[in-house]
Amino acid sequence: MISRRTILKISALTWAGTPVGWVQVSNAATDSVLNRSVELGGVTVEIPRLVDNGNSIPISFEITPPKGIGIKNIEVIAPENPQPVLIKLNLNSFTTPYRFGTRIRLAASQNVWVLAYLTDGKIIAGNASTVLTASACFDGT
């Protein structure tokens, strides 16, 4: 049974124009980033600090794994987006520095995280923040 308080929250968010699923996904994504055992460092993220809109934002990152350890997977996460995991890359134990650049779509001003999963089980991460003047994700896609 849904409580009265939950119905009021849903109707308030809908009235304000915020998709309800967005809030839940955002909290889950933020929690998943923060609850992982990550080490900051080894990942350099470059993103413009101020952009006009979130439709096409250039991002590049460089991952330098520790000596003798490879990179298995890479994830780019934007916790405030309706779909927080923007990119997933699977690599075959890349042991040299890895540089990647593309364009992403953001729903709001936020920190964008890059997580690198290493072959020894550790996760290294880096982040960069950007400020948007107009959102690109209104309908949850």
Asked if residue 19 is part of any domain, the answer here is yes
Asked if residue 140 is part of any domain, the answer here is no
Asked if residue 107 is part of any domain, the answer here is yes
**Alpha carbons 134 and 141: distance in angstroms, whole number:** 16
pTM exceeds 0.75 for this model: no
CATH number at residue 51: 2.60.40.2470
Average pLDDT, the chain: 78
Give residue 69's pLDDT: 92
Residue 138 pLDDT class (50, 70, 90 cuts): low
Residue 45, pLDDT > 80, answer yes
Asked if residue 139 is part of any domain, the answer here is no
Q: What is the mean pLDDT of residues 64-90?
A: 92
Asked if residue 141 is part of any domain, the answer here is no
Q: How many domains does the chain have?
A: 1
Q: Which long-range contacts (CB under 8 A, 24 or more apart) does 83-90 make?
A: 83/25, 83/141, 84/25, 84/26, 84/28, 84/29, 85/29, 86/112
Residue 26 pLDDT class (50, 70, 90 cuts): very low
Residue numbers of the domain that contains 58: 4-132
